[in-house]
Amino acid sequence: MRYCSDALLFLLNFSPVSDFYRSILRPVLFSGLNADPEWLHVQTLRSLSWLNSAQWMQSQVDHLYGYESPKLAQSLWGLTFPNPIGLAAGFDKDGVAANVWSSFGFGFAELGTVTFHAQPGNSQPRLFRLTEDLAALNRMGFNNQGAASLRSRLEHRKSGIPIGINLGKSKITPLESAAEDYLGSFRLLKSLGDYFVVNVSSPNTPGLRSLQATDQLEPILSALQTENQSEKPLLVKIAPDLEWEDISAIVDLAQRYQLSGIIATNTTIRRDGLKTQTVRGNPITEEAGGISGAPVRVRSTEVIRSIWKQTGGTLPIIGVGGVFSADDAWEKITAGASLVQVYTGWVYEGPTMVKRILQGLEERLERSEFSSFKDAIGSDHFNPAE
């Protein structure tokens, strides 16, 4: 624990200069003796877990990385989001830093993916950086301590930014019992999350993506909404690799079951266009897992734009995939995303990234003719000349 706190203090003391992280600290972390990406991720979470209970330190983090802008705030699903930039699922699977994310500037955070049964995930190594592509390859396999453990941790959560909970299917649960598995987690956590996400799009649990087929997704949504009784916002997270007709079918299903929104998108299993050709000496085409980061940016924005067009902007979208800058976030917002999530970009750009994105969004909003942030959402679909 001493290592974790020392590492965190070092990060806090020097990283306010954004170039320091990218030009000096990141190369050291990425190429040092203990540069295994998952090991570094675990150490970061341990530090953040310590910070989670250190109120005096959180005020320092707030000072360095926080950014308040009433212009970027919005109300959605009866929740107040102080800004549209959130932490994507996968970073804090077990909610060990649930009280911390607002201090780093995030307007909301999504925990998980959590499964009903605790599980170790896939065999290691299972997380790789593709630095030439500003990307990551992961095949984690929903490693987490289970829904009951997350429940006990969130019972002590302090009020703050909205917290979403991303639900996945336990690996040991047969596909035909998926609805009961999701329902078990939802029942345990329903009172503790501000919104919930049905994750049927990870490529790292055998057969999971088949649950995106509407005939398999429908019983899951039916079971959850019957239990939910419209108390909590319920969303579904989809893959970027779906065909357009499959995306359209999921959108229709989401509307039929009165879901609160769609998250677009998860990681991709495509390998075309990558600069990185080998991982661990093997062709990247032979390495299983999903790719996140810059290679997903264009496709995820295309999916956002398609969903917005199909629904006329009536179904809120959380956009995720390849967001590194204010330009990337603005691109997704104007395509139709009400909220935007980051993960891989935060790893590459460092803890000042959220603040820089928020400053950039505020500048773009001020330069535009929009009277509010909500006016910017989906604005690419309108042509003033027509």
**What is the residue extent of each domain of the chain?**
67-381
Residue type, 237: K
pLDDT confidence band for 5 (50 / 70 / 90): very low
Tokens of 106: 């995030």
| pLDDT on residue 383 | 59
Look at strands 135-138 and 127-130 and give their pairing.
antiparallel
Rounded Cα distance between 183 and 146, Å, is 13
Give φ, ψ of 241 to 5 degrees.
Answer: -90, 0
Q: Which letter does DSSP use for residue 305 in this model?
A: H
10 Å Cβ neighbour count for 367? Answer: 8
Query: What is the per-residue DSSP string for 194-253?
Result: SEEEEE---TTSTTGGGGGSHHHHHHHHHHHHHHHTTSS-EEEEE-TTS-HHHHHHHHHH
Tokens of 302: 């295309």
Is residue 232 predicted with pLDDT exceeding 70? yes
Rounded Cα distance between 289 and 118, Å, is 21
Closest CA to 141 of 165, 172, 164, 109: 172
Is residue 240 predicted with pLDDT exceeding 90? yes
- Express each pLDDT in 42-100 by its tens digit: 988 888 888 777 676 777 888 888 899 899 999 999 999 999 999 999 999 999 999 99
Of the residues 102, 170, 201, 202, which is catalytic? 202
Rounded Cα distance between 296 and 310, Å, is 21
- Express each pLDDT in 7-50 by its tens digit: 444 454 444 445 555 654 566 566 654 468 998 899 888 888 88
**Average pLDDT of every residue of the chain:** 91
Lowest mean pLDDT among 27-31, 218-222, 380-384: 27-31
| pTM, rounded to two decimals | 0.92
Residue pair 355/67 in contact (Cβ under 8 Å)? The answer is yes
If you search the block for the tokens 């209970």, which residue do you land on? 53
- Rounded (10°) angle between helices 2-14 and 37-52: 90
Is residue 176 predicted with pLDDT exceeding 80? yes
| pLDDT on residue 23 | 55
Is residue 2 predicted with pLDDT exceeding 60? no
For the 67-381 domain, the top CATH level (class) is alpha beta
Q: Is 103 a catalytic residue?
A: no
Residue pair 332/301 in contact (Cβ under 8 Å)? The answer is yes
Is residue 385 predicted with pLDDT exceeding 60? no
Residue pair 198/224 in contact (Cβ under 8 Å)? The answer is yes
- Express each pLDDT in 273-311 by its tens digit: 999 999 999 999 999 999 999 999 999 999 999 999 999
SS3 184: helix
pLDDT confidence band for 131 (50 / 70 / 90): very high
